[in-house]
Homo-oligomer: A and B are copies of this chain.
Amino acid sequence: VTGRHRRIRIELAYDGTDFAGWQVQPDLRTVQGTVETALSRILGGATARLRGAGRTDAGVHARGQVADALVDTRLDDPELLIALASLLPADVRPVDLRMVPDDFHSRKLALSKTYVYRLDRSRWGNPLDARYTLHYPYEIDRDAMQEALGKLPGRRDWAGFAGSASAVESTVRDLAVASYEEPGPDSGRFTFRADGFLNHMVRNLVGTLLDVARGRFPPGRIDEILRTGDRTLAGPTAPARGLCLEEVFYPPLLEAGEERRA
């Protein structure tokens, strides 16, 4: 299987701190632009268009972003991966690269995505976590938090948690997981899994849940926002730095694309 013209699926991890987000923008350093430039060099100058599963905002990180591109090269997948790894900077790294069927589409075919939002709960802030967490040394009412989280899972209209900039056709999404854990004495971690997320949805959910956890809102505020779709009832948008796109899930057959084609 050394077809020259083929579609590849690239899994990527990045530290979003020094990127203006995923999507290409003129004169700004973006993840998509950085990877496209590296691919283009490998392809001898030919344009490479990368399609990402999720358009992460400026400052948002990823451990398992997925993107795909059409490439025309004599390099096989392992060679392409080595070339890409050698050209990419330290803050965006390939995790995996492999051929997929021509009809693979990172965003459209994604079944679900998992985002994690991390808190640093130490009193004065841990400088070795500062880029990847929200420093939140305040009390957390875990009962109120769990009650609020319990109201979230399901197929719902999330308009009240969508950023004002969004202009999508539908604001209905199916949220499978919404949880909060404390993996260590000084850390907190929200996990959200859904078939899709609206612009700023996770950060607005976190901002609202933290307001519930510190007693600013009762847990019932969640029902109210979901019912009315009124963004002004929700909490603030939590900062980007705590957010990370952890994993994108695809149907098993697409995951095994290479064998299917062979």
Contacts and interface: CB of A to CB of B under 8 A. Distances in A.
Interface in A125-180: 125-128, 130-132
In the A-B complex, the 10 residue pairs with the smallest Cβ-Cβ separation, listed nearest first, are: A15-B127, A90-B130, A85-B124, A91-B127, A93-B125, A93-B124, A93-B127, A14-B127, A94-B124, A13-B127
Contacts of A61: 128
A71 interface: no
A92 interface: yes
A15 B126 CA distance: 9
Nearest to A126: B13
- Categorize the interface residue count of chain A: 20 to 34
A130 B95 contact: no
A113 interface: no
Tell me the number of copies of this protein. Answer: 2
Interface in A98-138: 124-128, 130-132
Nearest to A91: B127
A63 interface: yes
Nearest to A89: B127
Most buried by B among A90, A124, A244: A124
Contacts of A14: 127
Interface in A184-204: none
